[in-house]
Structure formats: structure tokens, C-alpha cells
Chains A and B, each alone.
Chain A
Amino acid sequence: MNELIPLMVIVPLMAALVISAFSRFNTLTKALAFIVALCLPIIPLASNYGLHYFGGYEPILDNVTNVMYHPAITYSFTFLQQIFIAGVGLLTFLVVFIYLTKYRKVSGPYLFLLFLGTAAVTAMILTDDIFHMFVFFEILALAQVGIVAASSIDYSYEMALKYMILGSIGSPMMLLGIGFLLALTGSVNVTDIVAAVHNGLVNVKSPVFLLSLGLIFFGWLYASGLPPFHTIKSGIYSKAEPHGAALLQSFTVISMISIVLIMFRIYSTLPIFEVLIVFFSILAMILGVSLALTQTDFRRMIGFLAVGELGFIGLGIGLGTQFAITAGLFQALNEIIITALLFIGFGAIVNATDEVDTRKLGGLLAQHPKVSIMLLIGGLAMAGVPPLSGFQSKLMLVQASLSCGYPELSILAIMVSIATFVVFVKTYYTMFLKPKPKELELEGKEVPRSMIIVMGVLLVIIILLGVFPDVVTNGISNFVGGIL
């Protein structure tokens, strides 16, 4: 059923447009949003692996050079795409579920942005066309800006505007890099570009090729929120609604791995490419965690931790071996789920207390025991405590860096995990365990039940991935073996 492959993008895209057009009818909008959101994780699970050529243009074999050319925009659907699209689909469903149950009157444009973002990241991870990827990268950036600007949190407009201004630097750089690649190879199809590079048709030492790497790499830093964009990325997470932030971070992670996998296929012949990735990943890990340690706004704290965790993904990709890349991609999947749990859990606390400053909170364990226990387990998973999913991926990363001959990176990864643990213990203590401040009023404020249900679902996935990591890692490893 390869016809289902384009539907993974078309369904959320059409739903976004239809929901926005009929947003005056509240019940219809709610019903439609719920049904479409429910379909999102089902479609990738029901679809077969394979390729889809838009317009039906099959690859053409050049009989002279014996090289295959791809004239159509091609979607490639393998286990990796399946697991990530199903993951973001499930998260979109859970976020839409929270949103629909939280508000009596829903906003069509807000749902439009949520579905548009999901469609964009799905297209980014499916496509084998670098320009197509860029178009959806731009659409995603606009959807992210909209989701932040639509929140009711103070200064969200300002933060969204800053993100857009920085995007106006990062995106054209990436487009220019893609333009240089097109000029060198005559194609925007990634498989064709890779074939040109590996067959020696492109001089990898040429300044134009190196410049294209530099420009696309800079755009990737913006997309993934690695330094110097870690501040704005954590800022937009903290200014979005909690369920919106949960989805935003998943968009970031998937756009990060989509772009870096394309870059890896094209530029892996250049050792400097892996050095660059490792350099910025280390920087993200150090800055993210050290800044998280000094935050008093717990939404911002999770934002910085999320950025620090991105460093682990980059580290796996940068090490470049099959095992390391598998570990990095597994870490990406874990981060999507764990960080979503934390954003929704801490969002539930904001909902119940109207307070984000940890210094003004306390004694919440007695008031919200279910949320606090699930948040505790989520935090432990992020810090890499066994037997949770974060432990498995971080252990793999430590083993990968040791086997690559970089014990410093292993020690650094362990230190970052310990510092993450400290951040979480400190925040957990100040919010849940220390005595409740007299000024804090908690009467009549409850956590929405939908948030607790969603946290429960995410927690089950975290535990299952921790106990049975092979279910995911074997498939990812096979995919990585194919691209190496």
C-alpha cells in the first residue's frame, strides 16, 4: 500500500486547511480534528515500506554512464520514517486531545498550525529531494512562529518575532547552500547528488562544495536549536502553551535528524563535517545543561535541558559509525517522548498554580501526587536512569564514543547526564518536596484529567522502550547500515 506514503503528508495538510475553513462550526471542527489526529499515527503503521514518485516519474537509467537519475520528487519510507512519523503522529493526537478537552471553544487557526507543523516534519523526513525538504522547513518555521504567537503567555509575540528574524538569517543561508549544490551537481535529488559525489563528478575539495556545507550546516543549526540558537529555541518553548511546546520540541528533533541525515549522506566523505557536528553538539550539551541549572522558571529550565539533549543526538551522528548513529537516532526518539512528557507535566503544574517561578512553589506532592510521580519518572528517564528509555540510548552513546576512541566524550556524556539529574532533583525538590509557601494558593485549581492521561500514555512508552529497546534499535540499525 505505497499509496499511503504521500497521504502521511496530505492528510494533515488537507485537515489543516479544512479545519481552518470551517472553524466557525465548533463541534464539527472538534470532531474533524479528533478523527484526523487519530489517523496520523495509524497511517504510517498501516503503510508498507517503499518509494513513492510524485507524478509517476520513475527513475531513468543513463546507459552511457550507468547512473540512475530521479526526475520526480521522491518519498522514501523505511522503518526509520515509520517510527518517527508514527511517534510525531501519536504526539500530535495527544496534544490535540489535550487542546480539545481543555477549551470549550477551539481555535481553527491554532489547529491549522498544529497540523501544518506535523505535515511539514513528516514531509521533511520522507523526502529525498533537498529543495522539497527546504520548502517544508520554511513552512515548519512559520508554523512554529504561529504556535508560539498564538499562546496566551506574556511576551510570546516578542519571542516569536525574534525567532522569525533569526530564521530570516538561517533559512536563506541554507537555500544558498542548496543552490551551490544544484550548481555543482545539476540535481536537487539527494540520491543523485550522493551518486555524483561518490562517483567523483564533484570535487569534494572545491571551495563551492565546502561553502555549500557551511551554509547548509548553519541552516541546520537554526533548525535544530544548537548554539548559537539554543537561547531562542529554549525561549520559544517557554513561551508556547505546554502542549504546544511538547509538539514544538518534537518538530525540532525531527527536522534536526531529517536535515542531518541528508547532510551525512552528501558530506560524510569530508572528515571536517563530523568534526563540526561533534563541536556544536558538545557546545549544546555544556551550555544547555549549565544554563538549565541556573533557571528559576521551570519552563525555561526544561527548554534548556531539551536543547542540551539535542547535543546527544548530534554526538551520535557526528561519531559516524553504524552503532553511534543508531544510538543518536534512538536518543532522538526518546527525547521526543520524554521531553513531551516533561512539558505537559510541568504545564499541568502551571495550569494548577498559575506560577512558573520555582522559588514561589512548594508542597505540590500532596496536592498533585499523580503528576509529581510521573514527572519524577520522566525526569529520571531524561537523566538516563535505568531501566528507562533514556538510559538505553545514553548507554549506547557512551559505548559508541568509547569504541570510536574518544573516552573524553564518554566522560562528558556521563557528566551531562549527572548534571541533568541534578537539575531535575533541584527542581523537583523546590516544587514538590519543600514546604508550601504561605502565599501560594491552590484551592479550587485542578490539573486537567486529559493531561494526566496523556502523561500516562507517554510514561508507558518510556518504560516499554527502556525494557525492550531492540524493538526500535534493530530497525534503526538496519536503516543506518543502508546509508553508510
Chain B
Amino acid sequence: MKLYDQIFDVVKQFKKLFSPGPVTNADVSGSITAEIFLIVSLVLAAILLRHVNVLLAGLVTLILAVVLIANIPLIPKFKIEQEDSLEKMLFYAIITLAIIVTFMYWGGNFV
């Protein structure tokens, strides 16, 4: 029942996502689709870790699924993080550099 309430609450929270304009059925349906798509695709992408280690892939997939579902709605959070603010864009550019460096440092072992 708690999960049901949480899902129902998601719809209410989508109202804020489209404010100040009206919220239509199509917009809410689109947002719910985006929510489900985001969770499923991230979990699916995590399975790719099986090429590194099967146990790691299983653990990461399970933990990711639980974390993502427990934190719905994700789309409003994602959307806020990806607005046209230059500060956020610069922040994520730096994060990306860090990701590339991480890949290079540890990924170099696979050369």
C-alpha cells in the first residue's frame, strides 16, 4: 500500500513539473512513461557490468533498482538538474571529466 501511495503521489508531484501552465493528461502520461523508461533503462544498462564481473552486475542491478524505485518520482529531479543553468552545465562538465579520468585510470588495466 505504501508503494501504491508513493506512485499516486508521483502524479501529484508532476503538477509542479509543468507549472505555471495547465497539466494535461498527455503530459502526465508522458512523464509516467519517462519515469518507467528511466528506471528500466538504467537497470538494463547496469546489467552490462556482467562483462566485468557477474556478481558485481547482480549486486549493482539489485541495489540500483531498489534505490531508483524508492526515490520515485525521478523525472522532476532529473529535469531540475538539467535545466539551462550555466552553473549546472559547468558542474556536470567537471563531473564528466572526472568520469573520463576514472575510466582512464582504472580502465588502463584492460589495455
B13 at the interface (CB under 8 A from A): no
Question: Does A422 lie within 8 Å of B44, measured CB to CB?
Answer: no
Once A276-B100, A415-B44 are accepted as A-B contacts, the answer to whether A430 and B26 lie under 8 Å apart by CB is yes
Residues of chain A contacted by B69 (CB below 8 angstroms): none
Residues of chain B contacted by A270 (CB below 8 angstroms): 111
Alpha-carbon distance A232/B93, docked complex (angstroms): 11
Once A221-B96, A290-B38, A426-B26 are accepted as A-B contacts, the answer to whether A162 and B103 lie under 8 Å apart by CB is no
Contact among A276, A290, A357, A430 for B34, CB-based, below 8 A: A290
Residues of chain B contacted by A217 (CB below 8 angstroms): 100
A423 at the interface (CB under 8 A from B): yes
Alpha-carbon distance A406/B57, docked complex (angstroms): 14
Question: Does B38 lie within 8 Å of A286, measured CB to CB?
Answer: yes
Contact among A282, A357, A419 for B37, CB-based, below 8 A: A419
Residues of chain A contacted by B33 (CB below 8 angstroms): 293, 419, 422
Q: State which residues 274-310 of A face B: CB under 8 Å.
A: 275-276, 279, 282, 285-287, 289-291, 293-294, 296
For B31, the closest partner residue in chain A by CB is A294
Alpha-carbon distance A434/B101, docked complex (angstroms): 49
Number of chain A residues close to chain B: CB under 8 A: 55
Question: Does B84 lie within 8 Å of A231, measured CB to CB?
Answer: yes
Closest beta carbon of chain B to A263's beta carbon, Å: 13
Closest beta carbon of chain B to A299's beta carbon, Å: 13
B89 at the interface (CB under 8 A from A): yes
Residues of chain A contacted by B21 (CB below 8 angstroms): 296, 357, 359
Residues of chain A contacted by B84 (CB below 8 angstroms): 159, 162, 231-232, 235
Chain B, residues 3-32, CB within 8 Å of chain A (1/0): the string is 000000000000001100110101101110
Question: Does A294 lie within 8 Å of B30, measured CB to CB?
Answer: yes
Alpha-carbon distance A232/B79, docked complex (angstroms): 13
A271 at the interface (CB under 8 A from B): yes
Residues of chain B contacted by A408 (CB below 8 angstroms): 44-45, 47-48
Once A228-B89, A231-B89, A276-B100 are accepted as A-B contacts, the answer to whether A287 and B82 lie under 8 Å apart by CB is yes
Residues of chain A contacted by B38 (CB below 8 angstroms): 286, 290
Question: Does A231 lie within 8 Å of B82, measured CB to CB?
Answer: yes
Q: State which residues 66-111 of B face A: CB under 8 Å.
A: 75, 78-79, 82-84, 86, 88-90, 92-93, 95-97, 100-101, 103-104, 107-108, 110-111
Question: Does B96 lie within 8 Å of A204, measured CB to CB?
Answer: no
Closest beta carbon of chain A to B72's beta carbon, Å: 13
Contact among A205, A228, A287, A423 for B30, CB-based, below 8 A: A423
Instruction: From A129-137, A206-214, A336-344, give the one contacting chain B.
Output: A206-214
Once A227-B96, A229-B93 are accepted as A-B contacts, the answer to whether A276 and B103 lie under 8 Å apart by CB is yes
Give the secondary structure class of A's interface: helix
Question: Does B45 lie within 8 Å of A162, measured CB to CB?
Answer: no
A402 at the interface (CB under 8 A from B): no
B42 at the interface (CB under 8 A from A): yes
A218 at the interface (CB under 8 A from B): yes
For A173, the closest partner residue in chain B by CB is B97
Alpha-carbon distance A235/B85, docked complex (angstroms): 11
Question: Does A165 lie within 8 Å of B86, measured CB to CB?
Answer: yes
Alpha-carbon distance A224/B30, docked complex (angstroms): 26
Alpha-carbon distance A359/B21, docked complex (angstroms): 8
Question: Does A162 lie within 8 Å of B82, measured CB to CB?
Answer: no
Residues of chain B contacted by A430 (CB below 8 angstroms): 24, 26
Question: Does B34 lie within 8 Å of A213, measured CB to CB?
Answer: no
Contact among A271, A286, A406, A422 for B48, CB-based, below 8 A: A406
Which residues of B are at the interface with A, using a C-beta cutoff of 8 A? 17-18, 21-22, 24, 26-27, 29-31, 33-34, 37-38, 40-42, 44-45, 47-48, 75, 78-79, 82-84, 86, 88-90, 92-93, 95-97, 100-101, 103-104, 107-108, 110-111
**Knowing that A231-B89, A286-B37 are A-B contacts, what are 17 other residue pairs whose CB atoms are under 8 Å apart, sorted by A's residue number?**
A159-B84, A165-B86, A166-B89, A204-B111, A205-B108, A210-B104, A232-B89, A276-B103, A290-B37, A290-B75, A290-B78, A293-B34, A296-B21, A359-B24, A412-B41, A412-B44, A415-B40
Would you list the 8 A-B pairs with minimal beta carbon distance, nearest first? A228-B92, A272-B107, A293-B34, A290-B34, A293-B30, A214-B100, A286-B41, A290-B38
Question: 27 A-B pairs, CB-CB below 8 angstroms?
Answer: A162-B84, A162-B89, A166-B90, A169-B90, A205-B111, A210-B104, A213-B104, A214-B103, A218-B96, A229-B89, A231-B83, A232-B89, A270-B111, A271-B111, A272-B104, A275-B103, A276-B107, A286-B38, A286-B42, A290-B37, A290-B38, A290-B41, A294-B34, A294-B75, A294-B79, A296-B21, A415-B41
